[in-house]
A and B are shown apart, each in its own frame.
Chain A
């Protein structure tokens, strides 16, 4: 069989997505003030946020990246080693723009909110309350509130052209969207009233029955939590009462901010079944909440410069080479395969070239037969290629599934990197890949 039949598509990628997401217009648009990156854990969300931030800055904008619990090396790559709740300017950014980065400190953000809304004495009561201390130190849920709170703060300061937010690795990835609402429903809930002043409710007609239930409930809660904790909770809620109003307003404002035209969401995923399933869920959820989705960033997409060679043919060829070797060893005639009729019949062997080439092999007479080891290596290269082609088709299948569910979503692919990102150069590289739309294999490494 000749290779001539394979369609020539070297260097090109497989099926391109229905719509291509061009990130540069998004990053350059002065009307866009907030970009939210969301996605399930382990898909490179934080890296994407950082790379987008750097790219926007190097395209002249003043950017702040708000990250939540980044991996240490990534934080270091942007020069934010320590957790300190205020944006720090990242050094080494090229061009006129600025990149600032910060890591969310939940407790400090919470403390700031309390301090901003309560008078000094009340604030002190709250901050020293054991219930508050546990709550603010980062139980599930707090991170989401505080990320949104911080985003609201940053936006209100109006110091940056663009804020890029990396969302917390939540259990149900969109918890941050629910946070303001949940806070609202909690504050609207009668539980708070019950805890603060159960007697108040008694006066209203029709509430009497409920009130009886409530006294029983306070008793039950007291029994359940233990008297001390209930007292702590009550003190906390009482002290927070004035603060809650402000809290609520801010949470609502932040939620509205997310729906506003100046905000854009990017869903980040990798071409794997679970990650894309989660991404589809995000897309649906964002649509339901009327949050503006810019598109999907698909990280770690693989390609091949030899896509014209199918996995099956590569494997067959590898077996062919390995068998030849065995035959060679049995027959002791390594030169057999050099006879011209083993070459592709359509191509004539240029006389003299094999000998000339062999000089560059550098095989020593005592070492293993260079030809055999070349065959062995080539078989390995072909097997490697077969693996790559299998991976490609698997990735293609999962992407197709997503595309058929959500053809309206624009996609930006980022070619897979063999290693991790450690510095600005690495982030810049990812930014280039993000913007390249049709990423190709890194030529420089060839």
Chain B
């Protein structure tokens, strides 16, 4: 099992939720995981129903069996100052740099530096050991940028190493790349059973592979329960309206005659069934497309009441059941 688990996905697919559930699942039974946020959205804090996360590793949840989940929202500016402090002991000089706009420049405008800092910080957590030489975190889970940007994000160190041909940044970039391109890392993609996210997933996998980044698994999120099976859907097309009306009436929903309460429900209910059938066919198609990717597929159910803390634990146990952790 890779120690750095990167979770990406198209916007709106719930990648933060999946990353959080994965961190919980990996922490089960006495393990310690770090859940890392890189986009400054405070999505993790909202999910775990805690106040906004500072730039500090903080315990946010316990997992079944005594495990612990820590979280960290990486702030690129602070990460840079951290980094300068670590390598150059730049206390006040760091602040001077900030005044000059150098920090702003480095974290927002200088090509890729921001991404270097974010990936660098995550890799540092992966490699960090305590005094007894044991890894501080068993796993690091990263809530990464969306699929369209993730390859560039993870690969940024390669580019930077090419730009800065010598010096500490060069060395740092190369060290990060060694972690990211090794089996220590797995990049998972979250998708929905819809055309655009599936297409983007396929494109994302191709990009990751071209950059030789290790692709992990595909997680299909928000899978709706099957209410009508193919036989039922077949029946929707052929059933007589009147027999549905009679069944509705038998169930106590009013009269089956034309204009009766039960009878008036038939058309809207059948319309909803048609919509369901259309979506069902579409989902079937998309599942087949995902099947051709040749990656392990996992499915997480749609939580009827939206994702809350209890739902997160439910998803985590589902991931464990499916062998993702």
Enumerate A326-352 residues with CB–CB distance to B below 8 Å: 337, 342-344, 346-347, 349-350
Give per-residue flags for B104-131: 1 if the beta carbon is below 8 A from chain A beta carbons, else 0: 1100110110110000000000000000
User: A408 on the interface (CB 8 Å rule)?
Assistant: no
Chain A binder among B50-58, B157-165, B208-216, B289-297: B157-165
B270 touches A73 (CB 8 A): no
Contact (Cβ within 8 A) B275 A418: yes
Q: Does the CB pair A361–B100 fall under 8 Å? A: no
Q: Is A305 an interface residue (CB 8 A)?
A: yes
Whether the Cβ atoms of A217 and B227 lie closer than 8 Å is no
- The segment from A21-29, A116-124, A219-227 found at the interface with B is A219-227
Q: How far is the CB of B286 from chain A (nearest CB, A)?
A: 10
B65 at the interface (CB under 8 A from A): no
Please give, as numbers and ranges, the residues of chain A lying within 8 Å of B228 by CB-CB distance: 377, 380-381, 384
Q: Are A373 and B235 in contact (CB under 8 A)?
A: yes
Interfacial chain B residues near A320, Cβ < 8 Å: 250-252
- Given A306-B268, A374-B239, the answer on whether A229 and B163 have CB atoms closer than 8 Å is yes
Give Cα distance in the complex from A343 to B238, angstroms: 24
The answer for the CA separation of A441 and B170 in the assembled complex, in Å, is: 58
Complex partner residue of B115 from A10, A139, A318, CB under 8 angstroms: A139
Whether A140 and B115, one on each chain, are in contact in the complex, defined by CB atoms closer than 8 angstroms, is yes
Give residues 90-104 of A contacting B (CB, 8 Å): none
Residues of B close to A343: CB separation below 8 A: 249-250, 255-256
Known A-B contacts A229-B163, A374-B243, A377-B232; the reply to A220 vs B88 at CB < 8 A is yes
A337 to B146, CA, bound (A): 55
A365 at the interface (CB under 8 A from B): no
Check: A423 CB closer than 8 A to any chain B CB.
no
B246 touches A357 (CB 8 A): yes
A4-B254, A305-B268, A344-B252 are known contacts. Are A191 and B102 too (CB-CB below 8 A)? yes
Report if A73-B196 is in contact (Cβ < 8 Å); known contacts: A381-B244, A390-B304: yes
Contacts of B264 in A (CB 8 A): 10
Residues in A neighbouring B324, C-beta threshold 8 A: none
Asked if A169 and B102 make an inter-chain contact with CB atoms under 8 angstroms apart, the answer reads: no
Q: Is A366 an interface residue (CB 8 A)?
A: no
Q: A381 and B272 in contact (CB under 8 A), knowing A191-B102, A306-B265, A349-B256?
A: yes
Is B300 located at the chain interface by the 8 A CB criterion?
no
For B, the interface residue count at a CB cutoff of 8 angstroms equals 93
Task: Give complex CA distance A193, B43 in Å.
Answer: 38
Inter-chain contact A385/B269, CB cutoff 8 Å: yes
Binary per-residue interface labels of chain A (372-392) against chain B in the complex, 1 for a CB within 8 Å, 0 otherwise: 011111111111110110100
Are the CB atoms of A305 and B235 closer together than 8 Å? Answer: no
Partner pick for B306 among A131, A186, A394, CB 8 A cutoff: A394
A186 near B104 (CB under 8 angstroms)? yes
Please report which residues of chain B, range 203-227, place their CB below 8 angstroms from some CB of chain A when the two chains form the complex: 224, 227
Minimum CB–CB distance from A220 to chain B (whole Å) comes to: 7
Q: Known contacts A71-B196, A130-B163, A134-B163; is A321 also within 8 Å of B246 by CB?
A: no
The answer, yes or no, to whether B278 is at the interface (CB within 8 Å) is yes
The CA of A324 and the CA of B247, in the complex, are separated in Å by 10
User: Given B12, B164, B244, B278, which contacts A40 in the complex, CB threshold below 8 Å?
Assistant: B12
Does chain B have a CB within 8 A of A15? no
A13 within 8 A of B: no
Which stretch (B19-27, B90-98, B176-184, B313-321) binds chain A?
Answer: B90-98
B149 at the binding interface (Cβ < 8 Å): yes
Distance, CA A390 to CA B255, complexed state (A):
25
Inside 8 A of B270's CB, which chain A residues have their CB? 381, 446
For A1, list chain B residues within 8 Å (CB): 252
Task: Check A385 against B252 for contact (C-beta < 8 Å).
Answer: no
Instruction: Select one of A40, A42, A185 contacting B104, CB under 8 A.
Output: A185
- B310 → A minimal CB distance (Å): 16
A131 to B145, CA, bound (A): 23
B166 within 8 A of A: yes
Q: B261 is contacted by which of A3, A274, A337, A374 (Cβ under 8 Å)?
A: A3
Given A41-B10, A309-B265, are A419 and B246 also a contact pair (CB < 8 Å)? Answer: no
Within 8 Å by CB of B165, from A10, A226, A342, A380, lies A226
User: With the chains together, A4 CA to B252 CA distance in Å?
Assistant: 11
Contact A375 B238 (CB under 8 A): no
Q: Which residue of A lies closest to B242 (CB)?
A: A357
Whether, in the assembled complex, A216 has its beta carbon less than 8 Å from a beta carbon of chain B, the answer is: yes
B312 to chain A, nearest CB (A): 14
Q: Are B112 and A42 in contact (CB under 8 A)?
A: no
Contact check, B257 vs A353: say whether CB atoms are below 8 A apart.
Answer: yes
User: What 0/1 readout, one digit per residue, does chain A (141-182) give for beta carbons within 8 Å of chain B?
Assistant: 100000000000000000000000000010110000000001
**Cβ of A374 and Cβ of B257 under 8 Å apart?**
no
A431 to B88, alpha carbons, bound, how many Å? 58
B195 contacts partner chain A, Cβ-Cβ < 8 Å? yes
Check B269 against A381 for contact (C-beta < 8 Å): yes
Q: Which of A224, A371, A418 contacts B278 (CB 8 A)?
A: A418
Residue of B nearest to A343 (CB): B249
Complex contact B169–A224 (CB within 8 A)? yes
B275–A445 CB distance below 8 A: yes
Q: Are A313 and B12 in contact (CB under 8 A)?
A: no
21 contacts between A and B (CB under 8 A): A2-B261, A3-B253, A40-B12, A73-B196, A140-B114, A169-B11, A189-B101, A191-B100, A213-B96, A217-B102, A227-B166, A316-B252, A317-B253, A318-B251, A344-B253, A357-B246, A360-B240, A370-B243, A375-B250, A380-B273, A384-B228
Which 8 residue pairs spanning A and B have beta carbons closest together? A41-B11, A42-B12, A226-B167, A305-B268, A189-B101, A347-B255, A3-B254, A3-B261
Given A216-B93, A229-B169, A387-B224, 11 other A-B residues pairs in contact with their CB atoms under 8 A:
A3-B261, A139-B112, A140-B149, A171-B41, A217-B97, A227-B166, A305-B267, A347-B261, A378-B244, A381-B228, A381-B244
Chain A positions near chain B (C-beta within 8 angstroms)? 1-4, 6, 10, 40-43, 69, 71-74, 130-131, 134-135, 138-141, 169, 171-172, 182-183, 185-186, 189-191, 194, 213-214, 216-217, 220-221, 223-229, 232, 270, 273-275, 304-306, 309, 313, 316-318, 320-321, 324, 337, 342-344, 346-347, 349-350, 353-354, 357-358, 360-362, 370-371, 373-385, 387-388, 390, 394, 418-420, 441, 445-446
